[in-house]
Chains A and B, each alone.
Chain A
Amino acid sequence: MSIDRHRPLSIGISLLITAVLVVLSARSFQVQHRDEVLYPSDGLTRAFPLSEVNPHLAGTAGDTEVYVYEGSAPGGSVLVLGGTHPSEIAGYMAPVLMIETLHVEAGRVFIIPRANASAATHNEPQEAHPQHIVIETAGGSRSFRFGARFTNPVHQWPDPEVYVQPISGTTLAGVEIRNLNRAFPGIADGNLTERVAWAITELIRRESIDVSFDIHESSPEYPVINAIVASEVSQEIASFATISLQLDGWEFSLEPSPPNFHGLSHREWTDHTDTQPILLETANPAMGRLRGPTNAELAVLGQDDQYVKAAAIGAINVPFDEEGISIERRIARDLVAIGAIVEAFNMLNPERAILMGGWPEPAALMEDGLGRYLAPARDGTSPR
């Protein structure tokens, strides 16, 4: 048959097409493995890799930078964790803005902007998320990666069908074994995600961190949003902060950390360290299942027609109009919450007060845009 005669040719053509597709697409995937350059403010006193805390992370894709800002006066200490879920872009950009603007007078501030560095290197299939967002600064445009919720399977694979949490024995869907916020308190020489979780928990213990923030975003249809999540040990500072935020006109709800849902940062830090844990959650339509066209503009501007429709029929839990929820508004919420909680901590522990600032006022941030306050790109282009 003629089919057989042409077979070597059609196999050859198929292989050629495949090779071209692989080479062309591999480039855009590989770019994601390069960390974008951050420009810390001159308040930075030192930086070190997380593998200094857990040597099992050295040379792995889970190793990530810890930025430290120390005041000249003594005081308490704060940890700010971003990028636990790198698809929650404001949860990454809020710590980045802090890194580039922060000044500390008293106490110490630790910032880990890319908590799950491996998860920042890829996107979740089916989500069609952008690979990065672009922010215009005075020195040119800077791009920041929009990552995935889970550790990159290239770095940790295969998943079991079911994830049985090592400490609690709770069973979760298998993919959750790559979810940093199900892996706490972590295992020093466990899988990559567990190693990262252990290193963060150990950092909190080793540095006796007083207040630890874990910054997230979630879809507007998720029940817990615009929330401050606190456990039994952080309930007091969280309540004070929520009240003062509400007096200032900010809508925040205070949610208790579920006592039996293990692996979560606030739950396990409460049970395994002496820190007061806080989780912050803003609403981001780029993460929701109801969203319309998915792209970088959606992640930055937070405007979406489908969510406007959904709000009209009462299908979501936050107010949502044509104005949307911009990344500036989401970052501003995180920063005012961090400010209010540290203030509450200072009020209750004046001898360990943490005095810090430098980041823009919320109104100014929303008015001028994020690019006005990020460091300008140094070479006039995106650093990647």
Chain B
Amino acid sequence: MLEPHWILLIMLGVFVVCAMLLKVPTGLSLIAASMVGALAGGEGLPLRHLVEGAFTYIDPILIIASAMVFMASLEQSGALGSISRGLLVHLHSRPALLVVGLTVFIMFPGMITGQSTATVLTTGAIAAPVLSACGIPRPKVAAIIAMSAIYGMIAPPISLPTMIMGSGVDMPFTGFDIPLLIATMPLAIGVNLGLARRYLKNIDMEAVLGDLDENHATRHGWRLYLPIVLVALLLIGIRLVPFLAANLGIALVFLIGAAVGTRTGRRFNLFSAARRSIRQALPVMGILVGVGTFIQVMTLVGIRGMLVVTALGLPSLWKYAGVAVMMPLFGAVSAYGSASVLGVPFLLSFLGQDEIVVGSALSLFAGLGDLMPPTALAGMFAAQIVGEPNYFRVLKHTAVPAVITALWAIGMIILANPLAKIIPG
């Protein structure tokens, strides 16, 4: 049987040939690579492993699909355009404040759900036209949204990557609020002001308002926003009174919101809107299926272990470089996968440094995975909502913020113990 690193090379080779040369869809290319990998590993064609792996991300897939339908509903009912218009009218004279306010606004769903994709697709989609109206070019708008969504996913009170790492070392999710705020808020505000800095002049309202959707709020009143209020209540309600509110699941909450949206504003056909949005999301959902089988086969034939042992074996200074490169790379498949597969052993390997601060910092690296091709979930969906066909043009603008984020996280790991001392509680 082949050594794991040879199998990895073969799998990557098959993926590149399928995806780049033969133009096979990314998801199917990943599955083809998994099948060849299993063969090379002497496992034959392990149908059960391929199917089991394919189902790994069934929950995120359902959430992405339902969030897309919800956003289509908000857009069709006129709610989206009206919110953008309202934000602009009220904040156009203070563009810096507008950017800071929008950053926190975009982050919010990520902070309460721990999901970056749902964040891009909800508040990200609302903020996009506002940022465009400030004169910021589309790829940069998408970059701002993608970065905010990633920081939102990691920011407290709910940080799924951090919680997943905590589960791996049996550490309850308490005391993380301030370290996670330190890990995310300064970066979020700094990075976004940096990306928007050249456009923070006064906005010519006359020119801008003409480009926006008409104001449906005047015709439909507060009812227009009912779906958003309902979804927020259902998502937050579960958090506040977990024993009273039934756990509907995020996907169902979004679908309820989408259905309500058909009656609260401009009328539209929900079925055809849903069909359009699912078709848009299909490639990404396919990639998640492919990624699931890819990792399952990597584990099966021993590639996963080889990668982890290699990472842990790096000498101490190189270990920081190893974390900074390997965690985002692995996060290409999923930030959660990266937190679980590499985050946990790295967290254990930084023994002696405050594990809450280190765990918070490692979450940043895992989050950066959402910018890594081929999936680049945050970057890809952000490109989609601003109408930018080539998501690599978005990733160009997230490169510098990603490096700054990695340096910030390394700084937190190095200074973990002094930081832990000054953090109250």
Q: Chain A: residues with CB nearer than 8 A to chain B?
A: 21, 24-25, 28-29, 123, 125-128, 131, 158-162, 164, 166, 170-176, 221-224, 260-261, 288-295, 304, 306, 309-310, 313, 315
CB<8 Å pairs between A and B, sample of 20: A125-B55, A126-B292, A126-B295, A126-B296, A126-B337, A127-B299, A159-B59, A160-B242, A160-B249, A161-B114, A161-B160, A164-B242, A173-B163, A174-B160, A175-B167, A176-B167, A223-B169, A289-B341, A306-B302, A310-B312
B52 interface residue, CB < 8 Å from A?
yes
Contact A313 B312 (CB under 8 A): yes
A221 vs B311: C-alpha distance when bound (angstroms): 14
Interface size class of B (residues with CB under 8 A): 35 or more
B174 interface residue, CB < 8 Å from A?
yes
CB distance from B68 to the nearest CB of A (A): 18
A234 vs B300: C-alpha distance when bound (angstroms): 40
A residues in contact with B158, CB < 8 Å: 161-162
The 3 closest A-B pairs by CB, nearest first: A158-B249, A292-B302, A173-B163
B135 interface residue, CB < 8 Å from A?
no
CB distance from B39 to the nearest CB of A (A): 14
Known: A162-B158, A173-B166. A293 touches B238 (CB 8 A): no
Q: Tell me the chain B residues, 18-75 only, with Cβ under 8 Å from chain A.
A: 41, 47-53, 55-56, 59
CB distance from A295 to the nearest CB of B (A): 8
CB distance from A156 to the nearest CB of B (A): 11
Contact A306 B163 (CB under 8 A): no
CB distance from A278 to the nearest CB of B (A): 17
B residues in contact with A160, CB < 8 Å: 238, 242, 247, 249
Contact A290 B305 (CB under 8 A): yes
B360 interface residue, CB < 8 Å from A?
no
Contact B296 A289 (CB under 8 A): no
B residues in contact with A174, CB < 8 Å: 160, 163
Q: Chain B: residues with CB nearer than 8 A to chain A?
A: 1, 4, 41, 47-53, 55-56, 59, 113-115, 158, 160, 163-164, 166-167, 169-170, 172-174, 238-239, 242-243, 247, 249-251, 292, 295-297, 299-302, 304-306, 308-309, 312-313, 337, 341, 344-345, 348-349
CB distance from B9 to the nearest CB of A (A): 17
- Residue of B160, B174, B292, B305 most packed against chain A (CB within 10 A): B305
B residues in contact with A171, CB < 8 Å: 163, 172-174
Contact B239 A162 (CB under 8 A): yes
- Besides A161-B115, A171-B172, A293-B301, 10 more A-B contacts (Cβ < 8 Å) are A123-B52, A125-B56, A125-B292, A128-B300, A171-B173, A174-B163, A290-B305, A291-B302, A292-B305, A310-B313
A164 vs B292: C-alpha distance when bound (angstroms): 28
A206 vs B194: C-alpha distance when bound (angstroms): 65
Contact B47 A21 (CB under 8 A): yes
B residues in contact with A173, CB < 8 Å: 160, 163-164, 166-167, 173
A24 vs B49: C-alpha distance when bound (angstroms): 12
Contact B308 A290 (CB under 8 A): yes
- Residue of A176, A290, A309 most packed against chain B (CB within 10 A): A290
B residues in contact with A309, CB < 8 Å: 309, 313
Known: A126-B56, A160-B238. A21 touches B309 (CB 8 A): no
A160 vs B250: C-alpha distance when bound (angstroms): 8
- Residue of B160, B243, B292, B348 most packed against chain A (CB within 10 A): B348
A261 vs B163: C-alpha distance when bound (angstroms): 15
Contact B167 A128 (CB under 8 A): no
B residues in contact with A127, CB < 8 Å: 296, 299
**CB nearest to B239 among chain A residues:** A162
Contact A293 B300 (CB under 8 A): yes
B residues in contact with A310, CB < 8 Å: 309, 312-313
Contact B48 A166 (CB under 8 A): no
CB distance from B332 to the nearest CB of A (A): 15
**CB nearest to A168 among chain B residues:** B172
- Residue of B49, B172, B341 most packed against chain A (CB within 10 A): B172
Contact B167 A289 (CB under 8 A): no
A residues in contact with B1, CB < 8 Å: 293
Contact A128 B249 (CB under 8 A): no
Contact B345 A289 (CB under 8 A): yes
Contact of A261 (CB < 8 Å), options: B114, B172, B238: B172
CB distance from A12 to the nearest CB of B (A): 18
B residues in contact with A221, CB < 8 Å: 345, 348
A309 vs B5: C-alpha distance when bound (angstroms): 15
Contact B59 A290 (CB under 8 A): no
A residues in contact with B308, CB < 8 Å: 289-290, 306
A residues in contact with B55, CB < 8 Å: 125
**CB nearest to A182 among chain B residues:** B167
CB distance from B375 to the nearest CB of A (A): 15
- Residue of A162, A224, A260, A306 most packed against chain B (CB within 10 A): A162
CB distance from B45 to the nearest CB of A (A): 10
**CB nearest to B247 among chain A residues:** A160
B residues in contact with A294, CB < 8 Å: 299-300, 302
B residues in contact with A158, CB < 8 Å: 59, 247, 249, 251
Known: A162-B163, A292-B302. A25 touches B296 (CB 8 A): no
**CB nearest to A191 among chain B residues:** B247
A25 vs B51: C-alpha distance when bound (angstroms): 7
Contact of B302 (CB < 8 Å), options: A172, A260, A293: A293
CB distance from B351 to the nearest CB of A (A): 8
CB distance from B312 to the nearest CB of A (A): 4
A123 vs B301: C-alpha distance when bound (angstroms): 17
Contact A166 B306 (CB under 8 A): no
A residues in contact with B174, CB < 8 Å: 170-171
CB distance from B233 to the nearest CB of A (A): 16
**CB nearest to B333 among chain A residues:** A126
B residues in contact with A128, CB < 8 Å: 49, 53, 296-297, 299-300
**CB nearest to A175 among chain B residues:** B167
CB distance from B54 to the nearest CB of A (A): 8
A235 vs B267: C-alpha distance when bound (angstroms): 68
A15 vs B182: C-alpha distance when bound (angstroms): 50
**CB nearest to B238 among chain A residues:** A160
Contact A166 B243 (CB under 8 A): yes
A residues in contact with B304, CB < 8 Å: 289
Contact A315 B306 (CB under 8 A): no
B residues in contact with A29, CB < 8 Å: 48, 51
A174 vs B114: C-alpha distance when bound (angstroms): 11
**CB nearest to B343 among chain A residues:** A289
A292 vs B239: C-alpha distance when bound (angstroms): 40
Known: A158-B247, A293-B300, A313-B313. A28 touches B344 (CB 8 A): no
